[in-house]
């Protein structure tokens, strides 16, 4: 296992790696919608979805992959009623065949975020 460090994504805020390379797969830790340039979280679910996916993509790019290699995505929402708006923004990041996905409501997310997204990507 090898840790992935991406300068274009927020640094880990705890004892975990941004992502890990595990042979045929890369696992990206849950990405909050933190702008890595200023540490701020944008307003609204669409902007937060966009930022969280950009962060995940930056980590994948640091491993030589991108969201195009995603095979499984998990989306955690603080309010499931924002699913449709999240889904509209999310769809702009993926082409067919889209990765498998789960979307669930979480009671609360770190830093008051509306969304957190983790990704499993395949090197094959």
> pLDDT at position 13, please?
85
* pLDDT tens string 3-41: 999 999 999 989 999 999 999 999 999 999 999 999 999
Q: What is the pTM of this model?
A: 0.96
DSSP 8-state secondary structure symbol assigned to residue 63: T
Q: Per-residue confidence at 42, pLDDT binned at 50, 70, 90?
A: very high
CATH, residue 86: 3.30.1330.40
Torsion of CA 11, 15, 17, 20, to 10 degrees: -170
Q: For residue range 87-124, what is the model confidence (pLDDT) as tens digits?
A: 999 999 999 999 999 999 999 999 999 999 999 999 99
Kindly report, residue by residue over 43-84, the tens digit of the pLDDT.
Answer: 999 999 999 999 999 999 999 999 999 999 999 999 999 999
Q: Is the peptide bond before 56 cis (omega within 30 degrees of 0)?
A: no
**Widest CA span in the chain:** 37
Domain count, the chain: 1
One DSSP character per residue, 106-121 reads -S--GGG-SEEEEEEE
- Give the domain extent around 116: 2-122
For residue 82, report the phi and psi dihedrals to the nearest 5 degrees: -95, 10
Burial annotation 41-64 (CB, 10 A radius, 16+ → b, else e): bbeebbbbbbbbbbbbbbbbebbe
Q: What is the pLDDT of residue 62?
A: 98
């Amino acid at each position: 296992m090898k840790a992935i460090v991406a300068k274009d994504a927020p640094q880990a805020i705890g004892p975990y790696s941004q992502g890990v390379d595990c042979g045929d797969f890369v696992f990206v830790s849950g990405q909050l919608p933190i702008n890595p340039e200023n540490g701020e979280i944008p307003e609204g679910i669409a902007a937060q979805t966009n930022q969280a996916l950009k962060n995940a993509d930056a980590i994948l790019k640091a491993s030589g992959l991108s969201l195009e290699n995603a095979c499984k995505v998990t989306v955690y929402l603080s309010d499931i009623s924002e699913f449709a708006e999240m889904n509209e923004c999310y769809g702009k990041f993926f082409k067919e065949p889209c990765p498998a996905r789960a979307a669930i409501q979480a009671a609360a997310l770190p830093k008051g975020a509306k969304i957190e997204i983790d990704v499993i990507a395949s090197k094959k």
